[in-house]
Amino acid sequence: MEVQRQPKTLPFVPSEAEIRRYYETVWLARRGGDIVLIKTLLYTGVRVAELVRIHLDDVDLDACRIRITQGKGAKDRTVPFPGSFKETLALHIDAQHAKGAAFLFESSWKKPYSTRGVRALLARYAAKAGLEHNMPPHRLRHFLFTWLKTQGVDDALIQPYSGHETRTSLEIYSRLAITDAQREYDSVIDRFPV
């Protein structure tokens, strides 16, 4: 007996204009923690389950990197963020330390944010921005990796940050030194629309 499979469809990737409108809505709300959370998703491409498990000591402000421990497939990796985000992130970390937090994004009950809570937060901003569709965290991830690709960054350089392991995930699989990928990321991230 042959199993019928659904054909794979390409994921929806928001346009730069939609991302700008979305981010502008977040910015105008003037909620610092929300801004940092959404910028972290946009700049790093981490999965929502990885985002909510980031500890304060996982952030290396000097190297502009965040350590992701036990990501999808129980893999560890390091993801970059732009130098222009360092000061904002440092202020957020200082505020979290002052509250006695352990996680980068933590509720007032001293618990890490839930993935469900992050999804609801993103959906509220999408509705406020008047977008025709929701803005789940994975859409922000797809936007970053698609944007990096359109800027000429090779799949093999994107792969260490994405957490994808197979060739089929990014078409090209190569293990490169993190510094090579960091240099390429740094060379294009200043043109990122947010």
Cα–Cα distance measured from residue 10 to residue 180, given in angstroms and rounded to the nearest whole number: 29
Query: What is the structure's pLDDT at 165?
Result: 61
pLDDT of residue 9: 65
**Strands annotated E in the chain:** 59-60, 65-68, 77-80
80 and 180 Cβ atoms separated by less than 8 Å: no
State residue 14's pLDDT score: 81
Q: Which residues contact 68 (CB under 8 A, 6 or more apart)?
A: 46, 50, 54, 58, 76, 77, 78, 79, 163
Q: Flag whether the pTM goes above 0.75.
A: yes
Look at residue 176 in the predicted model and tell me its pLDDT. Answer: 31
Over the chain (194 residues), what is each successive 10-residue block's mean pLDDT?
A: 66 83 93 93 92 95 89 73 94 95 90 93 94 89 82 72 57 38 78 83
What would the two tokens of residue 3 be? 């199993």
Residue 177 is predicted with a pLDDT of 34
pLDDT at 166: 53
How is domain 16-189 classified at the architecture level of CATH? Orthogonal Bundle (1.10)
